[in-house]
Structure 1
Amino acid sequence: MVVTLIVICEVGFWVLLVTGLAVRYLLKMPRTGAALLLCEPLLEVVLLVVTAMDLKSGAEPSWKHGLAALYIGYTVGHGHRTVKWLDGHAAHRLAGAPRPVGPPRYGMARARHEGRVWLGTLVGAAVATVLLWLAILYVGDASRTSSLRSWMGAAWRTAGLHGLVALSYAIWPRKAPEPDPGPREPVRVERR
């Protein structure tokens, strides 16, 4: 049931996102579109409540409950940026707004961008950890909650790996290509 609900929440996230953007830009109803976009966090609240009810009803804590916590953490850490990115592209494609500026590609500007993205992953790992600890306390039996503890490790390993990738942009910043010096004069070959 929990895995099905995670899938429903993920599909619901994209359906609400597409519907909200379509209402906002195609139907020219920005307030209604914004209201639909603001409904997206309700999906995570529903998932949280159903997961808690599942544990309360005596379900054995398992990978499903851990996955639900990681999904909610990821959405908290990265959902806003995803919505903002897609909103910028929808405004460009559907409403004639200027093309959104992409992330920097080179140097320390790129490293700072990657660091901000990594902070979203840290937020997600922290949220997932808090939810998993609350679930462990809720169950109250340490012998039954080892799978929930293992998901905490997975969250922080993921954040650590993402941090190493982000750090690599600071240690080895990618250099911008040399500017093109312009057209060169053709080389003349004399015939004899």
Structure 2
Amino acid sequence: MIVALVVACEVAFWVLLLAGLALRYLAKMPRLGAAVLLCEPLLEVVLLVVTVIDLRGGAQPDWKHGLAAVYIGFTVVMAHRTLRWLDVRFAHRYAGGPAPVKPPKYGWERTKFELQSAGRWILACAIAAGLLQGAVWLVGDSGDVSSLRGWQMRMGVVAMINVIIAGSYTLFPKKEPEGVGAREPGRVERVGGFTKR
């Protein structure tokens, strides 16, 4: 049941997201669109409550309960960013908004981008690990919590991978290749009202 609920929450997340944005930009109903988008956190609340009820009802903790905790942790952190990412594209496509800004490729800006990305992943892992620990305490000595501990270990590995990736960009920032960004031959530019070739 827990796995089916996780899948249902994921499907409902995308349905609510697309419905909210469609209402905002296509139907020109921004308030209703915002109301639909605000329903999204209820999905995590429902999943959390059902998981707790299942464990308190005597269910043996297994990988499904760990999956629920991980899903909640990552959705809490990543859902808002996903919404912003899609919102910018909907606004550009249907409401004349500015074009989406591409992530930086080089230098300190790229390093900062990677650090922020790693920070989000690490926070998601920390929230998931905290929820898993809550499940361990909830079960107490009445059941085998090895599967929950296993999920905690996986969250530690994911967090460490992100630390390594962010660290590599910090210690060895990606440099812009020579010639990239240089003015192309024959290209016309406007500089201070004058034409420059």
The TM-score with structure 2 as length reference comes to 0.88
Deviations 1:110-148 (A, max 9, x none): 110111111111111111111111111111127511111
1:152 corresponds in structure 2 to 152
The alignment-based identity, stated in percent, is 53
2:60–2:143 CA contact under 8 A, matched in 1? no
Instruction: Give the distance between the partners of 2:141 and 2:93, measured in 1 at CA.
Output: 53
Q: Deviations over 1:39-85 (max 9, x none)?
A: 11110000001111111111110000011111111111211111111
Q: Which position in structure 2 is the counterpart of 1:188?
A: none
Q: Does 1:20 align with 2:7?
A: no
Rounded to whole Å, the distance in 2 between the matches of 1:100 and 1:10 is 25
* Separation in 1, partners of 2:97, 2:154: 40
Q: CA deviation at 1:20?
A: 0.5
Q: Following superposition of structure 1 onto structure 2, how do residues 131-146 of structure 1 map, counting pairs within 5 Å?
A: 131-141=131-141, 144-146=144-146
Give the aligned partner of residue 30 of structure 1: 30
- 1:72 maps to what in 2? 72
- What amino acid is the match of 1:169? Y
Give matches, 1:80-99, under 5 Å: 80-99=80-99
Indicate conservation of the 8 Å contact 2:122/2:162, yes or no: no
Deviation at 1:173, TM superposition (A): 1.8
Task: Give how far 1:181 is off.
Answer: 5.0
**1:183 alignment partner in structure 2:** 185
- RMSD of equivalent CA atoms: 1.5
Is 1:16–1:40's contact at 8 Å kept on the other side of the alignment? yes
Confirm or deny: 8 A CA contact 1:55 1:61 kept in the other structure.
yes
Q: 1:26 to 1:138 in 2, by over 3 A?
A: same
| Number of residues of Structure 1 aligned to a counterpart in Structure 2 | 184
Q: Partner of 1:70: helix, strand, or coil? A: helix
Q: Which whole-Å CA distance do the structure 1 matches of 2:149 and 2:53 have between them?
A: 19
Residue 54 to residue 169, structure 1, CA distance change in 2 (3 Å): same
Counterpart-to-counterpart distance in 2, 1:182 and 1:7: 50
8 Å Cα contact 2:125/2:159 also seen in 1: yes
1:121 equivalent in structure 2: 121
